[in-house]
Chains A and B, each alone.
Chain A
Amino acid sequence: MSDQSTLESLELPEQKDPSMSELSDGWHYILDSNELEKSKAVEVPNFATQIVVWRGLDGQVYALDMYCKHMGASLGCGKVDENGIRCPFHAWRWDGSGNCDDIPYAKRIPDKAKTRSWNTHEKDGKIYIWFHRTQQEPNFESI
């Protein structure tokens, strides 16, 4: 049993609102390319919001909001499946653009099954993710 005072101060996670973030607009270094081999997913808790970053079988790096839009589990605990990431809770698979593209137990994917995706870029062995408070398109010359 945990200490009672620890439980009293225990806060539950939420998907942070990126517009409240103090992160500057632009590209942000996340991790080195060699830390993310194919089919590996990592949680990045300290970006503008919590995100999951993974490398698909195609070698591309993708990033989405970390918590699944279906029932809220962490996609960071999920498995990379081809180029998408599959949630550990109900096995919904999300592609890198934020669309759910497979639900093993459903006949049809709901139109609203979408989540937020983040632009990624790899250069000189480093992985960057774009953040812009007013959703300006990424500027690749600024890296």
Chain B
Amino acid sequence: MSHLPDRFPRGWFVLGHQREFLDNHTKSVYAFDRKINVSRDQNGNISVDTGDSFVWPVLELNQMVMVWHDVEHQKPDFIPKKIDACYSDEWSDYAMASFLVKNNCRELIDNMADKGHFGPVHQAPFEGFWNEAKGHTYTQEMTANSPILGGDLFSQATYEGPAYMTTYMSAIQDGNTVESRLLVSHLPLTMTSFQINFGVMVKKVPGMSQDEENAYIKGYVDANNFAFGQDVSIWENKIYIPDPVVCDGDGPLHKLRKWYGQFLVNRSDIPSGLDMEKREF
């Protein structure tokens, strides 16, 4: 059990889709080794009771209810960007899926820089692969021809803090450009388990019926669930290598882990030099 972080990371964590939290109701969510009661009053305002004397900030943004976790009990130092598609009638709402992973939540982060696993694990070799680190954000861009998600695939995925990642994706399917947005968020339950809360929304295609749209979204959720399942089978049967030997074809794993490390220390202990200009790997 060595090498485990000494805390849960600092940042915004998605508790669930806003439609799960009804007016005048309290819902319990297990996270951060505790039961969190999430209440919405008759005016629609959300609050959380974590059992702490410190009130954890909450946020309702991009269709999600989020909570700010910080062992230093300070105010948030960033807010995720508003995504216009989340408020547009031209887009569907997020369809959500969640699953449990029995490992520390840092395992999820490696994927951002882990260029080498796409072929063996997902049978989806990419063409271009870029990474950029800037303050509390880390971005991955990728171009690929995916047998699962479509040809001429472009995706741009950005973490804002350690646990809230959103992706814009476009791909050609049956001759049409399909635009989608993914949400990959997670909640640590314990130090050795976390729950992925995953969301998909698509830009509505003119002329597409509600049934066709639902079927399309379901297909996308299923494809992504399948891809996550491929990762989970690896994550649940591995050890953590704190200082991996990397090869010339690997992405910037060390750089990414240093960036993530800023959320696992007090603010006064965050080292400088975590930013990385956008570059291709």
Contact = CB atoms under 8 A, between A and B. Distances in A.
A40 B143 CA distance: 36
Interface string A57-91: 00000000001011111101100000000011111
A7 B239 CA distance: 17
B103 interface: yes
A123 interface: no
A107 B241 contact: no
A106 to B, nearest CB: 4
A73 B234 contact: yes
A125 interface: no
Interface residues of B, number: 35
Interface in A86-109: 87-91, 103-109
A107 B248 contact: yes
Q: Is the interface of B mostly helix, strand, loop or mixed?
A: loop
Interface in A102-122: 103-110, 112-113
Contacts of A69: 241, 245
Contact of A108 (B30, B233, B247): B247
B121 A72 contact: no
Contacts of B241: 69-72
B247 A12 contact: no
A10 B1 CA distance: 10
A6 B134 CA distance: 38
A14 B116 CA distance: 23
Contacts, number: 102
A109 B190 contact: no
Q: B2, B114, B239: which has the most chain A beta carbons within 10 Å?
A: B239
B35 to A, nearest CB: 9
Interface residues of A, number: 35
Contacts of B30: 4
B41 to A, nearest CB: 28
Contact of A104 (B1, B119, B245): B119
Interface of B: 1-2, 4, 30, 33, 100, 102-104, 110, 114-117, 119-121, 189-190, 192-193, 233-234, 237-241, 244-250
Question: 3 closest A-B pairs (Cβ-Cβ)?
Answer: A105-B249, A106-B247, A106-B249
8 contacts: A2-B102, A7-B192, A12-B1, A71-B117, A73-B234, A73-B238, A91-B119, A108-B247
Given A1-B100, A14-B239, A71-B244, 16 more contacts: A7-B190, A10-B102, A11-B1, A67-B239, A69-B241, A69-B245, A71-B110, A72-B240, A73-B238, A74-B238, A88-B120, A91-B116, A91-B120, A103-B249, A104-B120, A107-B248
